[in-house]
Amino acid sequence: MTAPAPPGRAPAGGRGRTGVVHRTGGLPVPGVRGLPLLGSVNDFRSDILAAMRAGFEAHGDLVGYRLGPVTVYGVSSPELAGEALTDAARFGKLGADNPLRLVLGTGLLTSSDHDSWMRNRRMMQPLYTRAKIAEMYATMRSSTDGWLDHLAREYRPGDQLDLHKELMRVTLDIVSRCMFSTNVLDDLDTIGPHAVDIAINYAFQRLQNPFSPPVSWPTPGNRRFRRVMASIDDLMYRLIAERRAAGPGDADLLDALLTCRDADTGEAMTDRELRDEIITTFAAGHETTAITLTWTFYLLSQHPRVLRRLQEEVDGVLAGRTPTLADLPRLPYTLRVFEEAMRLYPSAPIVPRLANHDTTLGGHHLPAGARVLVNLVNIQRHPDHWPDPERFDPDRFEPAARKGWHRYAYLPFGAGPHLCIGKHFALMEAQLLLAALVARYELRHLPAHRVVQHATITLRPRYGMEMTMHPRRRTTVAR
Ligand code: HEM
């Protein structure tokens, strides 16, 4: 049983011409030369993962790619990933030119100022411990039940649905209720269901293409981006104003952000700082989980034996109901299925870093300011670390099988100080949603629908995920 082919075709038309791009100090980094002037810009734009897969297959674990005037370095081994992600003194976050800042400002994900990042991370960390997330379970579960009711109302047996779109809906509802005690779905529908997509896509295009026109130019794309951002900002500032007026009391992330004080200055966060952390939580905290679940259901539709085993586990424990918190430890195979899906389709496929000064990586020289792209897809399908790497096999995640792994061979949540703060939240939510959906429905992929991976900041299915939905039992389920 194999997963769909990895994004691995060689770039076409002679663009894969190769050469060494860095020779100064340390070992030279092998590189893809690409086209004159442009380098690999077009290949990165059309399919960054395919371009980086071809570079990895041709040159190995560390490869330089020219993107016009800049060179970026692709990292495809656990050893090099560990070095780049854990040593924050040598490799930091992208700085002021990170286009994601146009959307997220300088929240946890995009801040490059170590001190303010650390202050905010310390303050937010207690909200994300396993114990605290467990307290949110009832909210997650009620949101899941609301979503299942919505599915039952909207779709008849055998109806077609875009699973990706529906999962985005429930994960957004879960993050907004758990973290901000509010439901923003109606507001986002008013702004336009694709608002966040448009904003993030715009930022990503800029990340890949150093020749993008300045944001201030009145191009149609720039104008659309500014319109969308103005609406999103209105919503964020409204959330803040309403909570300030109501006062604390919800014991959620928004309360924590509003009441925290800087240990040195005693100052509270400004509205701008609050807005940045809130939009970061929305952006980082819903699409990632929705996408991995989408790929999970796609994989299940292609692997009937895994699906049967999962259904047996879920039916045995739940008999059609939505899992309680106490049920989760009794659903280990469910969790493994999700973990294995995240290995093949890490929803944040590329983790970028910036060399803070002239340095080396795996003994190779990197100049100050070099952009390093840690490629989780290549690492998690690395043939030296994963036997039969394209095979979808949740048993890889059995406790005994995990023992021999390299520490950084599996890192869907990143590694080092910036390890995903929402990891426990995401795993609990995913196990709940996966079990709840499998308990009630069998989802079959529509054969005519084209499944194409599209890596932006996240690894989306380019044309969504069209499936048909078949109720597994006709009982009224107990909750
Ligand atoms: C399957 C789901 C998820 C995946 C695969 C994922 C993946 C990641 C990765 C790879 C990073 C590291 C980025 C870096 O090092 O530059 C990260 C950071 C982050 N994630 Fe997640 N994430 C998921 C869910 C969530 C959820 C549910 C939340 C919040 C509710 C969240 C919030 C964040 C934040 C705020 C950061 C920045 C942390 C920091 O730099 O201090 N993520 N995530």
Give pLDDT tens digits for 369-411: 999 999 999 999 999 999 999 999 999 999 999 999 999 999 9
In 6-45 the beta strands, taken as DSSP E runs, fall at 18-22, 29-32
Maximum mean pLDDT: which of 129-133, 174-178, 416-420: 416-420
Give which of 296, 347, 421, 349 is closest to 76, Cα–Cα: 349
* 67 neighbors 41 (Cβ within 8 angstroms): yes
Give which of 390, 394, 291 is closest to 347, Cα–Cα: 291
Average pLDDT of the residues of the chain: 88
CA of 177 to the centre of ligand 1 (A): 18
Percent above pLDDT 90 for the chain: 61
Ligand 1 probe mutation, 123, 143, 354, 420, most atoms within 8 A of CB:
420
284 lines ligand 1 (CB under 6 A): yes
pLDDT at res. 91: 95
Higher pLDDT: 322 or 477? It is 322
The CA-based angle 211-65-59, given to 5 degrees, is 165
**What DSSP state is assigned to residue 284?**
H
Residue 475: pLDDT band (50, 70, 90) is: very low
**Alpha-carbon gap, residue 115 to 265, rounded angstroms:** 13
Residue 193: pLDDT band (50, 70, 90) is: low
Looking up tokens 């992208």, which residue turns up?
94
* 109 neighbors 284 (Cβ within 8 angstroms): yes
98 burial via Cβ count (<10 Å: 0-12, 13-18, 19+): buried
User: In this structure, which topology does domain 18-471 adopt according to CATH?
Assistant: Cytochrome p450 (1.10.630)
347 lines ligand 1 (CB under 6 A): yes
Q: Mean pLDDT over residues 353-379, rounded?
A: 95
Question: What's the token pair of residue 238?
Answer: 């409204």
Residue 5: pLDDT band (50, 70, 90) is: very low
pLDDT at res. 271: 93
**Alpha-carbon gap, residue 410 to 346, rounded angstroms:** 10
- Element (DSSP H or E) covering residue 350: strand 350-355
pLDDT higher than 50, residue 8: no
Give pLDDT tens digits for 25-55: 566 788 888 888 888 889 998 899 999 999 9
Q: Mean pLDDT over residues 67-73, rounded?
A: 90
Closest-lying ligand 1 atom to the alpha carbon of residue 419? 12
pLDDT at res. 188: 66
CA of 294 to the centre of ligand 1 (A): 18
**Alpha-carbon gap, residue 171 to 347, rounded angstroms:** 14
pLDDT at res. 102: 86
Residue 477: pLDDT band (50, 70, 90) is: very low
Closest-lying ligand 1 atom to the alpha carbon of residue 292? 1
425 lines ligand 1 (CB under 6 A): yes
Q: What is the domain partition of the chain in residue ranges?
A: 18-471
pLDDT at res. 50: 95
Looking up tokens 């709940």, which residue turns up?
432
- Closest C-alpha residue for ligand 1 atom 7: 413
* 64 neighbors 29 (Cβ within 8 angstroms): yes
Closest-lying ligand 1 atom to the alpha carbon of residue 117? 41
92 lines ligand 1 (CB under 6 A): no
175 lines ligand 1 (CB under 6 A): yes
Q: Name the 3-class secondary structure at 77.
A: coil
pLDDT at res. 232: 86
pLDDT at res. 192: 59
Looking from the CA of 206 toward its CB, the CA atoms found within 13 Å total 19
pLDDT at res. 424: 96
pLDDT higher than 50, residue 176: yes
Q: Mean pLDDT over residues 452-458, rounded?
A: 86
Closest-lying ligand 1 atom to the alpha carbon of residue 376? 10
The CA-based angle 435-431-166, given to 5 degrees, is 75
422 lines ligand 1 (CB under 6 A): yes
288 lines ligand 1 (CB under 6 A): yes
Residue 206: pLDDT band (50, 70, 90) is: confident
**Sign of the C-alpha dihedral, residues 387, 392, 394, 397?**
positive
372 lines ligand 1 (CB under 6 A): no
Instruction: Please name the residue ranges forming H helices in 369-468.
Output: 376-380, 399-402, 423-440
Closest-lying ligand 1 atom to the alpha carbon of residue 124? 35
325 burial via Cβ count (<10 Å: 0-12, 13-18, 19+): middle
pLDDT at res. 189: 63
pLDDT higher than 50, residue 13: no
pLDDT at res. 2: 40
Instruction: Please name the residue ranges forming H helices in 125-162.
Output: 130-135, 137-154
